[in-house]
Amino acid sequence: DTGVSQDPRHKITKRGQNVTFRCDPISEHNRLYWYRQTLGQGPEFLTYFQNEAQLEKSRLLSDRFSAERPKGSFSTLEIQRTEQGDSAMYLCASSLVWGTQETQYFGPGTRLLVL
Amino acid sequence: GESVGLHLPTLSVQEGDNSIINCAYSNSASDYFIWYKQESGKGPQFIIDIRSNMDKRQGQRVTVLLNKTVKHLSLQIAATQPGDSAVYFCAETAMDSNYQLIWGAGTKLIIKP
């Protein structure tokens, strides 16, 4: 257990529905990342926050995806009008930026299946 | 990171033997490297890291070697155990990429009894 938690662990939804995932990072960590991972691939970066500010979003992140970190602690990732191609593992990671070193610690992931 | 689709490179090792997993990285400006272990259905787990001013770092049963000349990173696992079965990813970061992780292709480690 890294100290990063995600909820739910599994989600099955029908195409067109909206889903929301939550991530609780390690409490003193100031950065929070969202990734998507499909079978056999490394994690793909989606977006990240420094405290409550969303600093970067990947080109992969379509308009249907939105992420928030309102108080600089937990974060939510919402996918609107889900598509079958959204089926993947959604990973959250947090880190404490210290000088020029940053180690990201990952949560267990939320596995999404869109039918 | 590199994409290998569903066909991950695989390394099969006899239980008790040493394992060596290799990774080539792309950015000569990368200055921090991390190995992650990912078991089926779980998130990546930090194993060991190394900074670019070092060429070797040891942990418990694991050693990371860095060769900056050829941009190569390796992870050595001593006395491999069944619990070491997982996919192993290397990742690099650099100041010029705002320290975002760039992932290498994973290697699936299979332990033979």
**For residue range B20-62, what is the model confidence (pLDDT) as tens digits?**
999 998 888 888 899 999 999 899 999 999 999 999 999 999 9
Q: What local confidence, expressed as pLDDT, does residue A2 receive?
A: 73
Amino acid letter, A8: P
The predicted structure's pLDDT at residue B5? 38
Q: Is the pLDDT of residue A25 over 70?
A: yes
Residue A71's closest CA among A57, A56, A55, A53?
Answer: A53
The DSSP call for residue B83 is G
Distance from CA of A108 to the nearest CA of B (A): 4
Q: How near does any CA of chain B get to the CA of A89, in Å?
A: 9
C-alpha triplet B102, B95, B104: angle, nearest 5°:
15
Structure tokens at A110: 């939320």
A56 vs A24: CA distance, rounded Å: 19
Cα(A85)–Cα(A74) distance, integer angstroms:
26
**Residue B48 burial by Cβ neighbours in a 10 Å radius (0-12, 13-18, 19+):** middle
Query: How far A42 CA lies from chain B's nearest CA (Å)?
Result: 6
Say if CB B89 and CB B25 are below 8 A apart.
no
Give how far A40 is from chain B: nearest CA, Å.
5
- Lookup: tokens for B57: 């770092």
User: What's the angle, vertex CA B95, arms to CA B91 and CA B99, rounded to 5?
Assistant: 45
In chain B, what percentage of residues exceed pLDDT 70?
A: 92
Taking the Cβ of residue A45 and every Cβ of chain B, the question of whether any pair is shorter than 8 Å is answered with yes
Q: What are the pLDDT digits (tens) for A43-53?
A: 999 999 999 99
Cβ contacts below 8 Å, chain A against chain B, sum to: 66
A53: CB partners within 8 A, 6+ apart: none
Give the range among A1-5, A23-27, B60-64 with minimum mean pLDDT.
Answer: A1-5
CB burial class (10 A; 0-12, 13-18, 19+) of residue A56? middle
Are residues A41 and B32, on separate chains, in Cβ contact within 8 Å?
Answer: no
Do the beta carbons of residue A104 and residue A94 sit within 8 Å? yes
d(C-alpha B1, C-alpha B103), whole Å:
4
Residue B2 has pLDDT above 60, yes or no: no
Cα-based distances in Å from B35 to B21, B44, B102:
10, 9, 12
> pLDDT value at position B41?
87
CA nearest A40 in B: which residue? B6
Phi, psi (5° rounding) for residue B21?
Answer: -115, 130
Please tell me the predicted confidence (pLDDT) of residue A97.
75
Per residue in B75-97, pLDDT (tens digit) is: 999 999 999 999 999 999 877 77
Q: Is residue A41 less than 8 Å (CB to CB) from chain B?
A: yes
Average pLDDT, chain B: 89
Helix (H, G, I), strand (E, B) or coil at B48: strand
Nearest to B99 among A2, A6, A102 (CB): A102
B44 → closest Cβ in A43, A45, A111: A43
In this predicted structure, what is the pLDDT of residue A99?
65
- Quick: pLDDT tens for A61-100: 889 999 999 888 999 999 999 999 999 999 999 998 766 6
Question: Which residues, in sequence order, are CB contacts of A85 under 8 Å at separation 6+?
Answer: A114
